[in-house]
Amino acid sequence: MTKRPIIVIGSGVAGSVVAGTLARECAAPIVVLEAGDSADSLLDSSSRTLSFVDSLARSSTRRDDLLVRRTASQAPKSYPAGCGIGGSGEINALVASWGMAGDVRGWGENAPMGIWSVDDWKRELGGLEHDLRTAGEGEWGPMDRALVSSCVEGGIARHDSLWNDQFMPEGVGTVTLFARGDHRSTGVDALVKPGIAAGRMRVDRGALVDRLVVRDEMICGVELSTGEFVDARAVVMCGGAFGSVELLQRSGIVPDGVHGVQDHPAVALVTREPIMQQSVLSIGAIGRLSVDSGVGNVHLVSMNATAPGEVSHGALLVALMDVTSRGSIIRHEDGSVSRNLDMLSTQSERHVLVQALRRVVSIVGRMEDRLGTGFQLSEKSESVGWLASASNNEIEEWIMATCGVYAHAASSLPLGGEYLDRHGAVRSVDGVWVADASVMPRLIAGNPTLAIAALAKVIARSVAGATAAS
Ligand SMILES: Cc1cc2nc3c(=O)[nH]c(=O)nc-3n(C[C@H](O)[C@H](O)[C@H](O)COP(=O)(O)OP(=O)(O)OC[C@H]3O[C@@H](n4cnc5c(N)ncnc54)[C@H](O)[C@@H]3O)c2cc1C
C-alpha cells in the first residue's frame, strides 16, 4: 500500500460497514485500527456463539474499563461493551429491529441526505439480508415461551415480525437475529473479509488510537498509544458512542464536556428460583407495549439465562424505548473521564416506566404459573405484587436506584449538531468523519444495530465522494 490510506478507527458494527463500503468504493487503501486484540471473529466464524450470556462471559472480546453512571441515584458501574473485531456485535443479544416509524421522521432535518424513511434504510442495507434470520419457536427457552403465551392470554397479539413493523403499537413474538445459521453475524464476513481478500484493506489489532494528529485544521494521521504515527488522508471514527467522543476530547477537537449520550433504561424482574435453560438463545422473544399515550414505547424482553450454564435465574426486562434524557461525557484535567447517562431525568419518562410496570404485574403472574417460580424485583426482595400496591414515588425510587441499561449507548455526537454536519464530517477539522452509534440524532425506539449500520453506510458513501478528488 503506497498511497496515503483512509483510516477507520474501530472495527465494530459501524467500522465493518464503513471499511467494507470504502474498500468497494474508494481507490485509496483502507487501514482499520482496532484497539481489541481478539481475532476470533475474523479468522473463525464458528467461534461466534448465538448466546450473548456466553459471549459476555468471554473476557477476550469484552471491554472492562468502561465505568458509566446510569441515573442520578447510582454510582458509576461497569458498562458492557465489545472490544476486538466485530466490536459490541461480538457480545450483543442479536435482536434486530427497525424501531418505530416516528424515529427517523423525528430526526427532521438532521436525518442524513436521502434518508427519510425506513424503506430508505432497507435499500441502503440490501447486501446484509443474509445476516438476519428469524428464530424458530423450537429455539425458544423457557422464559420466551412463558412471555409469549402470558402476553397472548392477556390480550396482546402474537406478532412474529415486530422487528420489521414500525407501525404496530403492541405485540409479542419471536425475534429476528443477526445470525447466519448457528453463528452470530457481525458484518465481518460480509464486509471486512472480502475487502481483505481483495487486497483493499488491512486490519491492525491491538491498535489503540490515542489521538488524531491535525495540522492547519487538516487531518494528517493518528498517533497510537505506543507513540507510533500512522499517516492518513482521511479518518473515519467508529469507536462507539463513548470511544469516539473521548478520542476527539483527547485530541482537543471537541470540548472536555460533551452533552448528548443516550441509552434505554431497563429494569429487571428476576425469577426467585433458578430455571433450566437448554436453548442457545439468551433472548428468543420480545414484546412491545404502548404506555401512557406513547406508541411502542416499552419493550418486554425475556432473558432465558442470566449466567452461562444450563441452570440460572431467568429475568424479564422492562425497558423504556422512547427516551428524551441525555447524559454527558466529561474529561478531567488528570485525563480521567466521567460518563453519566443521566437516564430517566424527566418526570414523564419515569411515569411511563412506572405505568408499564403496573401493567406487567398481571403478565408476570401468568409467567409465574407457567414457570412454577415466583419473580422478585432486582436488588430488592419484594415480590412483583409489590408493584401493584406501592406508590408511584416508591416505584420511581426503586427504578432510579436499580435500573440498568439496554447497552444501546448512542447519540453522543448527533448529526447536524454542534460538532458534526449532516454527513458526519467533523465541523472544525477537514478530513475527519464520525460514523458510529454516536451520530444518531436521537436514539431510536428499537434495538439500534440496523440503524447504526445504515447510518454508517450513508456516511461511508459521503466519505468516498469527498475523498475521491484528494
Ligand atoms: C451486551 C449488549 C447487548 C446488546 N444487544 C443488542 C441487540 O440485541 N440488538 C441491537 O441492535 N443492539 C444491541 N446492542 C447494541 C449494539 O451492539 C451497539 O449499539 C453497536 O454495536 C454499536 O456499534 P458501534 O460500531 O458504534 O460500536 P462498537 O460495535 O462498540 O464498536 C466500537 C469498536 O471500536 C473500538 N475502539 C474504541 N475506541 C478505539 C480507539 N481509540 N482505537 C481503536 N479502536 C477503538 C472498540 O474496541 C470496538 O471494537 C447490544 C450491546 C451490548 C454491549
Q: What is the CATH number of the domain that holds 239?
A: 3.50.50.60
Atom nearest to 93 CA in ligand 1: 8
Total structural domains within the chain = 2
Burial of 175 (0-12, 13-18, 19+ CB in 10 A): buried
Same domain? For 286 and 359 the reply is: yes
SS (H, E, C) the chain: CCCCCEEEECCCHHHHHHHHHHHHHCCCCEEEECCCCCCHHHHCHHHCCCCHHHHHHCHHHECCCCEEECCCCCCCEECCCECCCCHHHHCCCCECCCCCHHHHHHCHHHCCCCCCCHHHHHHHCHHHHHHEEECCHHHCCHHHHHHHHHHHHCCCCECCCHHHCCCCCCEEEECEEEEECCEECCCHHHHHHHHHHCCCEEEECCCCEEEEEEECCEEEEEEECCCCEEECCEEEECCHHHHHHHHHHHCCCCCCEEECCECCEEEEEEECCCEECCCCCCCCEEEEECCCCCCCCEEEEEECCCCCCCEECCEEEEEECCCCCCCEEEECCCCCEEEECCCCCCHHHHHHHHHHHHHHHHHHHHHHHHHCCCEEECCCCCECCHHHHCCHHHHHHHHHHHCEECCCCECCCCCCCCCECCCCEECCCECEEECCHHHCCCCCCCCCHHHHHHHHHHHHHHHHHHHHCC
Q: Could you tell me if residue 327 is inside a domain?
A: no
306 lines ligand 1 (CB under 6 A): no
Nearest CA to ligand 1 atom 19: 408
Same domain? For 21 and 90 the reply is: yes
Same domain? For 351 and 380 the reply is: yes
Same domain? For 293 and 358 the reply is: yes
93 lines ligand 1 (CB under 6 A): yes
Q: Could you tell me if residue 329 is inside a domain?
A: no
pLDDT in tens, 313-357: 999 999 999 999 999 999 999 999 999 999 999 999 999 999 999
Same domain? For 395 and 421 the reply is: no
Same domain? For 352 and 454 the reply is: no
Same domain? For 316 and 370 the reply is: yes
pTM of the predicted structure, to 2 decimals: 0.96
Local confidence pLDDT in tens for the 470 residues of the chain = 458 999 999 999 999 999 999 999 999 999 999 999 877 777 777 778 888 888 888 877 888 889 999 999 999 999 999 999 999 998 999 999 989 988 888 888 777 755 656 677 677 776 666 788 999 999 999 999 999 999 999 999 999 999 989 999 999 999 999 998 888 888 888 888 888 888 999 999 999 999 999 999 999 999 999 999 999 999 999 999 999 999 999 999 999 999 999 999 999 999 999 999 888 899 999 999 999 999 999 999 999 999 998 899 999 999 999 999 999 999 999 999 999 999 999 999 999 999 999 999 999 999 999 999 999 999 888 999 999 999 999 999 999 999 999 999 999 999 999 999 999 999 999 999 999 999 999 999 999 999 999 899 999 999 999 998 66
Atom nearest to 244 CA in ligand 1: 38
| pLDDT the model gives residue 2 | 53
Q: Could you tell me if residue 74 is inside a domain?
A: no
Query: How far, rounded to the nearest angstrom, does the alpha carbon of residue 35 sit from its chain's CA centroid?
Result: 18
Same domain? For 114 and 222 the reply is: yes
Task: Show the domain range for 59.
Answer: 6-64+79-131+181-260+408-468
209 lines ligand 1 (CB under 6 A): yes
Q: How far is the CA of 438 from the centre of ligand 1 (A)?
A: 11
34 lines ligand 1 (CB under 6 A): yes
Q: Could you tell me if residue 340 is inside a domain?
A: no
Among 7, 52, 88, the mutation site with the greatest number of ligand 1 atoms within 8 A of its Cβ is 88
14 lines ligand 1 (CB under 6 A): yes
| pLDDT the model gives residue 206 | 95
80 lines ligand 1 (CB under 6 A): yes
230 lines ligand 1 (CB under 6 A): no
Same domain? For 254 and 156 the reply is: no
41 lines ligand 1 (CB under 6 A): no
Q: Could you tell me if residue 231 is inside a domain?
A: yes
Nearest CA to ligand 1 atom 3: 92
